[in-house]
Amino acid sequence: MRPAIVLAVAMLALAVSVPFVSQTAMLIALFGFIFSITAIGYNIAYGYGGMISLGHAAFFGAGAYTVGLMNRHLGMGELAVLLPLSMAAAVLVALPIAPIAARLSGLQLATALLAYSMLYYSLVLKLGPITGGSDGISIGGLAVLGYEFPDRQALGLFIYFASLALTVLALFLVKRFLGTVGGRLVLAARDNPLRLEFLGYVPARAKMAAFLISAAMCGLSGALYASALQFVNADLLYWTMSGEILFMVIFGGVGTLLGPILGAFVLSGLRFYIATTPDVGIYWQLALGVIIAATIYSAPRGLIHSIYRAATLIRGSKGGGHG
Amino acid sequence: MAEAVIRVEGLSKRFGGITALNNVTLDMRRGEVAFIVGPNGSGKTTLVNVISRYVREDAGDVIFEGRSLKRVNHVRAAQMGILRSFQHPQLFHGLTALENVALSLALRNGTPRAARIDSLRDKAQEALETFQMGHLADKRPPEMSHGERKILDIVMAFVGRPRLLMLDEPTSGVSTADKWGIMDIVIRNAKKEGITLLVIEHDLDLVFEYAENVIVMFQGSVVYWGPPRNMANSERVREVLGI
Amino acid sequence: MYEILFFSLVLGSCYALMTAGFNLLLGVARIINLAYGAYMALVAYLYSGFSESMPVPIAAMLAMAISVALGTFGWIILRFIRRDEVLMIVVSLAIALLIEGALIWGYGPYQRVVPALVSGSLGWVSAQWLLAILVSVAVLAGYYIIIGRTVIGKKMVAIAENADLALMMGINPAKVYLFTTFLASLFASLASLMISPFLTVSPQVAWLYLTIVLSVSIVGGLGSVGGSLIAAFLISFAERFSAYYLDPSVEPFVPLLLIILVLLFRPQGILGRGATRWA
Ligand SMILES: Nc1ncnc2c1ncn2[C@@H]1O[C@H](COP(=O)(O)OP(=O)(O)OP(=O)(O)O)[C@@H](O)[C@H]1O
Ligand SMILES: [Mg+2]
């Protein structure tokens, strides 16, 4: 365990110093941490709860639009209110579909959630006067505990550290949760729901809880994303967003603690490259498709497993791979 | 006669053209150890499925501790204390043996969901030791042998303080040498805790040794129900079981 | 009123045709193909691209030939990972992204007009409408004849019903699977040629097609071609009539509402098979 602690402290020190080293590195890491929260959340539903979702964009978008709509219509910019509110909003959006998600599996589940999230996509486009339609909403006047950010720089710095702290917190909480009876129930519901029923427990309950927790985390990260960009639009609700979230988790390692973070960083690095390099934006999907296919082919259990394997080989002894 | 823990009356069940249960009537008193025997496809598992409420009867009734289970589903039945194991072991393959058992303990003891699973470690370990599985505590089901998985499945049902415990072929796929050991542990502990036990078993030697009552099934019907010593007197039973 | 009724029929038959292909893959070959919509978009683009430099019928045939060949041999890839449902979902999604990306690369991210295969009209009934109905009905009728009368069709049914048993009976699955992917590609391509002229097509039309296919097959029962026939008309009528009598903006929510109702009250779909046995 000691090398792991040393490594963790080193990573943390690196993360804290990034903003003071390079602006570019900070931007990549900023979205890396925001999406880490998304991916950790998604992993709870998919990796631990066994619910493959193609609809988590709806929860991410719910968080983002909470910030956008409150800002646009009520002039609300207080993040200390907006961030918790966005989690509540995501849970609210997830609530009607959660009982269904908890009972389906495979293609039916993926499809139901895909359709459900596209509902919100269409809704946002249809309700243009309220939601800004396809133009989206610009966000201004963000503040935290009454302190209004003087410029983008300050805001970015705050969101960066907030996301870093929340990622660490999320990791810690997920690890704790997995150690509880409730956490083990989620894993058990994934592995063998019928057996749980024969022990007198309704597995859909654990799955629903996992699903709602997962939605809340996606909502939170959506709000952070909107705040960092000071902008939201309907693309956040499109199914490709759900696809990207799924890919982050698969790329990093499904059902592992650190895999989602790894996947989130790789994907946000790619996104940054695409966004800042002229004329490549339209190839994003092509690139994404190739990357996914290559990952599944070469590292079907995710990058984190390959890293663990390599570490194990180097140390020549045991190395953990289970979350 | 003391009140029956479980009584089934005129149970019938058909699957398409197959009669899986045909007018089955039985009962068991508290603490009784009964065995079901019969050739493949004679309806043994179906009977257990109906009692555990996983399969709905076409006709008849199941009465558990004086209550009809007509409107009870398998989840509720488990909550009432009807627990079972499975012909093919049903386990949580992502959890260790210890955690499999601990989860069963937690569910049946009403442990708070926020409690750490480790808080049940000692009790789960103790249960595993009882079944001589202590050394497998940290193994996951995919790393265990078929026989070990079967025992783990039984332990999970056992620790749930069953008021009626049904084991579906607990010794199938286990070596002849180990069979006796397992059955001995099961019966001893059931007796110690006064558990009413219904076991499906193919090995007649085990049945003759441990059964207080035997239910012989053939094509969905009960052809014999009574103490093992009178069993071999019946021509029908000898014919069905080939003895 | 009659116009709506008729157009619902037209759309319904297109929905039925496209979903039939998807369900064939699912029911017979156990292939989950979320790239199905992207594939249909590809067909529309090929056709619309060719039609700029050659007569419409030739463009249509060329597009069909290319796409059916691609599909027949392409979807077999997904068979190799069929043991894992989730992996199939992910891989086919990646293929969808690849196709969508390739379309943007080749044709640009713009909207395109897809020319009608036939022009002219009979009163308020346009010739493309009639063609769409005729083709869909003819193809689906042909499908049922194949299933009922031909050896390969009977093998398909046998495999769909119980693959293990079919293998034991000595059916060579490879040929059947290839024939299945061929039929599915044919259905998808034809459906795309029929329905795309009614829409403005952009690379994103892929998700529209996919949503339709998924809604219809969930409502009808995953893997059930018969169920998808019923569901296709149910959805197209519900869509058109709610758009007309309530508000056009409710249209996209109709399939969703149906999906949720079905999942709540009959999760296996109208004609889907029930749960498998256990314990
Ligand atoms: N869910 C089901 N659907 C259809 N048929 C079933 C179902 N369950 C059992 N059957 C049939 O009912 C009959 C009795 O089956 P059951 O499993 O109860 O037999 P069994 O006595 O447990 O046999 P074995 O010794 O092989 O376990 C068999 O013919 C079986 O095929
Ligand atoms: Mg049996």
What pLDDT, on the 0 to 100 scale, is given for residue C203?
A: 83
Q: CA B17, CA B32: separation in Å to the nearest integer?
A: 34
Question: To probe the interface with A, which of B50, B98, B103 has the most A CB atoms within 10 Å?
Answer: B103
pLDDT digits (tens, 9 = 90+) for C103-125: 888 888 888 888 888 887 777 77
- Taken in order B226, B227, B228, B233, is the CA torsion positive or negative? negative
Positions of chain A with pLDDT lower than 70, given as ranges: 1, 281-282, 316-323
Lowest-pLDDT range of A23-27, A127-131, B137-141, C274-278: C274-278
Contact state of A198 with B90 under an 8 Å Cβ cutoff? yes
Q: CA A151, CA A140: separation in Å to the nearest integer?
A: 10
Q: Is A192 on the interface with C (CB under 8 A)?
A: no
Chain A residues with CB inside 8 Å of B74's CB?
A: 197-198
pLDDT digits (tens, 9 = 90+) for C65-101: 999 999 888 888 777 776 677 778 888 888 888 898 8
Chain B residues with CB inside 8 Å of C279's CB?
A: 45, 49, 54, 86-88, 90
pLDDT digits (tens, 9 = 90+) for B6-52: 999 999 999 988 999 999 999 999 999 999 999 999 999 999 999 99
Strand, coil or helix: B44:
helix
B212 vs C263, higher pLDDT: B212
Residue A310 in any domain: the answer is no
Cα C69 to Cα A232, C63, C184: the distances in Å are: 42, 10, 11
User: Over 70: is that where the pLDDT of B215 sits?
Assistant: yes
Q: How far is the CA of B181 from the centre of ligand 2 (A)?
A: 22
What is the DSSP code string of A109-145? HHHHHHHHHHHHHHHHHHTHHHH-GGG-EE----EET
Q: How many domains does chain A have?
A: 1
- How many degrees, rounded to 5, is the angle at CA A7 between CA A5 and CA A13? 105
- State if residue B15 touches ligand 1 by the CB under 6 angstroms criterion: yes
What is the DSSP code string of A74-101? H---BHHHHHHHHHHHHHHHHTTTHHHH
pLDDT digits (tens, 9 = 90+) for C224-245: 888 888 999 999 999 888 888 8
User: Over 70: is that where the pLDDT of C275 sits?
Assistant: no
- Taken in order B174, B179, B181, B185, is the CA torsion positive or negative? positive
Q: Is C208 on the interface with A (CB under 8 A)?
A: no
Q: Tokens 């989840």, residue?
A: B75
Chain-centroid distance of CA C77 in Å reads: 19
Give me chain C's average pLDDT, please.
Answer: 85
Question: For residue A83, what are its two tokens?
Answer: 């961030």
Q: Whole-structure pTM over 0.90, yes or no?
A: no
What pLDDT, on the 0 to 100 scale, is given for residue A317?
A: 54
Q: CA C51, CA C73: separation in Å to the nearest integer?
A: 25
Quick check: C226 and C143 in contact, CB under 8 A?
no
Q: CA C228, CA C184: separation in Å to the nearest integer?
A: 14
Architecture per CATH, domain B1-81+163-243, reads as 3-Layer(aba) Sandwich (3.40)
- Taken in order B72, B77, B80, B82, is the CA torsion positive or negative? positive
Domain that holds residue A36: 24-238
Q: Tokens 């996209």, residue?
A: C252
Which residue ranges make up each domain of chain C?
2-202
Residue A315 in any domain: the answer is no
Cα C177 to Cα B93, C147, C163: the distances in Å are: 33, 14, 11
Give me chain A's average pLDDT, please.
Answer: 88
A287 vs C59, higher pLDDT: C59
Cα B26 to Cα A29, A244, B13, B128, B187: the distances in Å are: 69, 58, 15, 33, 21
Q: What is the mean pLDDT of residues B183-194?
A: 92
Q: How far is the CA of C218 from the centre of ligand 1 (A)?
A: 31
- pLDDT band, very low/low/confident/very high, at B86 (cuts 50, 70, 90): very high
Tell me whether 0.90 is exceeded by the ipTM.
Answer: yes
Give me chain B's average pLDDT, please.
Answer: 92
Q: CA B99, CA A184: separation in Å to the nearest integer?
A: 8
Which residue ranges make up each domain of chain B?
1-81+163-243, 90-160
